[in-house]
Amino acid sequence: MANAPVSIREVAAHAGVSVGTVSNVLNRPDVVAEHTRRRVQAAIKQLGFIRNESARQLRAGRSRTIGLVVMDVANPFFTDVARGVEDEASESGLAVILCNSDDQQAKETHYLELLEEHRVQGILITPVTGAHERLARLQRRGTPVVLVDSRSPTRGQCSVSVDDVLGGDLAVTHLLAAGHRRIAFVGGPLSIRQVADRREGAIRALDRAGISAGQLPVIETPALNVAAGRVAGAAIADLPAGQQPTAVFCANDLLALGVLQEMTTRRIAVPDSVAIVGYDDIEFAAAAAVPLSSVRQPRQQLGRTAAQLLLDEALGGASHQHRQVVFEPELVIRQSSQASPARPRAARAARRSPRPVAAPPATGCADTAAEAAG
Amino acid sequence: MANAPVSIREVAAHAGVSVGTVSNVLNRPDVVAEHTRRRVQAAIKQLGFIRNESARQLRAGRSRTIGLVVMDVANPFFTDVARGVEDEASESGLAVILCNSDDQQAKETHYLELLEEHRVQGILITPVTGAHERLARLQRRGTPVVLVDSRSPTRGQCSVSVDDVLGGDLAVTHLLAAGHRRIAFVGGPLSIRQVADRREGAIRALDRAGISAGQLPVIETPALNVAAGRVAGAAIADLPAGQQPTAVFCANDLLALGVLQEMTTRRIAVPDSVAIVGYDDIEFAAAAAVPLSSVRQPRQQLGRTAAQLLLDEALGGASHQHRQVVFEPELVIRQSSQASPARPRAARAARRSPRPVAAPPATGCADTAAEAAG
DNA sequence: GCACATGGTTGAATCGTTACATAACCCCCG
DNA sequence: CGGGGGTTATGTAACGATTCAACCATGTGC
């Protein structure tokens, strides 16, 4: 039976002091005398008083929350980013409001309005295409915005991203080195900047190898999830024999897992008939039917850094300098793109060395393991 | 250069009306005359007025948000639950504050306080052990609480759960039917109710088969993630030959994937040397090195239903009836527990039928696919 | 004995919005 | 012409916490 919540006023009455004093006990305990403080604290406990955040926020002008808008929480990549954000925010006593844009303008706009109405300290966002103008306005109106996994086109905004062009380059350079010449790209919608960049990197790698860009067939997917990957895999498998690629580079691991699943179902050998390289190196990439080569991004780090920049901007105030942080991706080579493995499932102790980046052991990546221990 | 946000007052002045009228335009547009409304709307647009949620909340006494406290967002099971919650909340114009308890009392308590201070409409929570008394108090103080993936011990609270004992029973019954007699259980901490229940279901199944409960060796893990699974897998592999189980039932899929990974690394054949059954049937179970048999839970449905119950309680008010919804889990059989597969990677078109529940095709589950299309 | 600092406490004003009682106005009926 | 009835618009009092100038004792120094 919800009894009315008790306010600071009643606490004051009960402790025989003024509301100002109660407020001081709450916010500046050091300025109130020992015995008064104790009396007030007793009253607080006895009445079960709970501060009203709305009232504090109204007074303060800003809420103690930050917004996080991602394309899809169901994607483990964003989950890890979210973890990083939440840990960081929590340390500053802030709550995180989580929003899924599903890469839809309408949903994104809806959530941005909601967050602005909430007067959040700031917004972390992986924007959909063409959102920049809107975000710039938001920022001008006073809500700090930090781009996550996306590079700010201007100097007037913080952003944390990973060099996706380099990532695509790494992946395809690796495939070329393994002798592949017909490489397909799976990803979409191409309107998503990350997807376009990764494809561009792939083309750059081909270019350098003297292969024309037209030589990169693109299977555009409607989304970046496993189901779309399966469909793409089927499309590849159904190509006439002459046009079949010998390697596939996927814009993310979910797609790669879908492609792999479809290949497995159709008994098309991976990597012997077709090699696969994914992107993100989510934890499940290493555990896949055929352990997946992938381009690793510092996911949790991405989230933490973004949150830090946001907090610096929101709390630090005038001294804040906008920064565009760009991380470098790292290629992790596993079985799905191994040139000609002796045995399909053998664990490989040593590796030939002339690879762009040394592949860590298949036991998974350090950051994930550390976090998992908690 | 953050210019001060504009208030309803300035809008009123600019449009030459009173604040009350502006408020009416915002909340009850039908009571204000056509041309006045237009004038006000023009002023709103021109000044870039954004409602202040804090002020509304203060007035209303409650915020337009709900809290979601899960054990770990990095676990795809909770991710899918969160998706369901968010979709449902969003339809009612509510925002979701996401919190990770990491199965730690301290963190849970911290977040519960934060949510209560925020005067959220209600809290959805997968509680850590022994939180019931605290949650009951919270509820008595006026914040509706709905338990997610956990059964309420009392009638005075809504809850949405899945019958974990039945799930454990299904898994082990299946393994027994496949001829396994030495079955190990991997999971922990055992203080987590879900883990304990699944183990209890396993024991029930053994019991029915006339096998004593002591016959279920338990490898207790410190957490429910892939890393812990790998450690458990190593522990199993290191057992003296005579004590090695022929099948392992894991308390969730992350553990199962870890165990599987370790077995693969050590070239222990799955399912031939050791069969594995997981729990949750996350999307990645089907894509694993050896497609994972698992006990499926209606993840997204769980979230949606919980959110619906919460909204009914929070908005419906007096007419609300507390309900304890219990879903039934469903066993999905894949290769990791197949008795003696003809070839390790073959896709099986038809299946022998006397299984508790018919396994759906390996193409994945419907709800996930549907959502993925968006 | 006076000015003045020190430490503690008070009370009112304030944040932006909503609800509600009241007023202004027009139209039509008696 | 006076007075209901309807439609619109107004002004103000909350909501609960924070802030800040003012105030009150005490004590200290000269």
Please give the span between the terminal C-alpha atoms of chain A, in angstroms, as a whole number.
Answer: 38
Q: How is chain A split among helix, strand and coil, in percent rounded to 5? A: 45, 15, 40
Q: Does residue A26 approach strand D to less than 7 Å at its CB?
A: yes
How far is Cα A13 from Cα A8, in angstroms, rounded to an integer? 9
Distance in angstroms (rounded) separating the CA atoms of residues B292 and B253: 8
Percentage of chain B lying above the pLDDT 90 cut:
82
> The tokens of B135 are what?
């949650």
Buried b (16+ CB within 10 A) or exposed e, A260-273: bbbbbbeebebbee
Structure tokens at A165: 């062009």
Of B53, B116, B371, the CB nearest to A119: B53
Which residues partner with B145 through β-bridges? Answer: B123
The dihedral built from the CA positions of residue B356, B263, A78 and A300, taken in this order, carries a sign that is positive
Q: Which of B291, B280, B295, B294 is nearest to B335 (CA)?
A: B291
Report B:237-296 residues touching A (Cβ under 8 A).
257-258, 260-261, 264-265, 267, 283-284, 286-291
* Nucleotide with smallest C1' distance to residue B58 CA: D15
Model confidence at B241, in pLDDT bands (50, 70, 90)? confident
List B146's β-bridge partners, or say none: B124, B158
* Minimum CA–CA partner of B86 in chain A: A99
Tokens 């919650």: give the residue.
B85
Answer yes or no: do A98 and B100 touch at CB < 8 A.
Answer: no
State, as a whole number of angstroms, the distance between the CA of A31 and the C1' of D28: 22
Distance CA A81, CA A146 (A): 13
Q: Residue A89 — very low, low, confident or very high, per pLDDT cuts 50/70/90?
A: very high
- Per-residue confidence at B305, pLDDT binned at 50, 70, 90? very high
**Confidence tier at A210 by pLDDT (50, 70, 90):** very high
Provide, as residue numbers in chain A, all residues whose Cβ is less than 8 Å from the Cβ of B73: 73, 79, 82-83, 86
3-state class percentages of chain B: helix first, strand second, coil last, to nearest 5: 45, 15, 40
Nearest nucleotide over every DNA/RNA strand to the B35 CA, judged by C1': D8
A38 Cβ nearer than 7 Å to chain D strand: no
Residues A223, B48: C-beta atoms closer than 8 Å: no
Best residue in B45, B46, B54 for a mutation probing chain A (most A CBs within 10 Å): B54
**Mean pLDDT throughout A180-207?**
96
- What pLDDT, in 10s, does the model give residues B161-217? 999 999 999 999 999 999 999 999 999 999 999 999 999 999 999 999 999 888 899
A96 touches chain B (CB under 8 A): yes
Of all residues in chain A, the percent with pLDDT exceeding 70 is 89
**What is the secondary structure of B51-72 as a DSSP string?**
--HHHHHHHHSS-SEEEEEES-
Q: Which of residues 42-61 of A touch strand D (CB under 7 A)?
A: 49, 51-52, 55-56, 58-60
- A176/A206 Cα distance (integer angstroms): 8
Six-digit token string for B44: 């709103």
**pLDDT, tens digit, 9 for 90 and up, residues A144-193:** 999 999 998 888 899 999 999 999 999 999 999 999 999 999 999 999 99
Q: Which residues of chain B form beta strands (DSSP E)?
A: 65-70, 95-100, 122-125, 145-148, 158-162, 183-187, 218-220, 247-250, 275-280, 293-296, 324-327, 330-332
Per-residue confidence (pLDDT) for residue A364, from 0 to 100: 31
B33–chain A Cβ distance below 8 A for any pair: no
- What is the spatial distance between Cα A161 and Cα A329, in angstroms, rounded to a whole number? 10
Distance in angstroms (rounded) separating the CA atoms of residues B217 and B204? 14
Closest CA to B67 of B101, B39, B41: B101
Q: Is B349 exposed, middle or buried (0-12, 13-18, 19+ CB in 10 A)?
A: exposed
Q: Are B229 and B257 in contact (CB under 8 A)?
A: yes
Q: Which residues in window 9-48 of B are less than 7 A from strand D by Cβ? A: 16-21, 24, 31-33, 36
CB atoms within 10 A of CB B51: 18
pLDDT at A104 over 60: yes
d(CA B126, CA B151) in angstroms, rounded, equals 10
CA-CA distance, A216 to A96, in Å (whole number)? 41
Distance A33 CA to D29 C1' (A): 26
Q: How far apart are CA B34 and CA B42, in angstroms?
A: 12
Cα separation, A253 vs A77, whole angstroms: 9
Going from the C-alpha of B189 to that of each of A29, A243, B237, the distances in angstroms are: 40, 52, 21
Q: What does the pLDDT average to over B128-152?
A: 93
- Select from B140, B62, B78, B67 the least CA-distant residue to B108: B67
The Cα B259–Cα A103 span in angstroms is: 35
Q: How many CA atoms lie less than 13 Å away from A359 in the CB half-sphere?
A: 29
Q: Which residues touch strand C (CB under 7 A)?
A: A 16-21, 24, 31-33, 36-37, 55, 58-59, 61; B 5, 7-9, 19-20, 22-23, 26-27, 49, 51-52, 55-56, 58-60
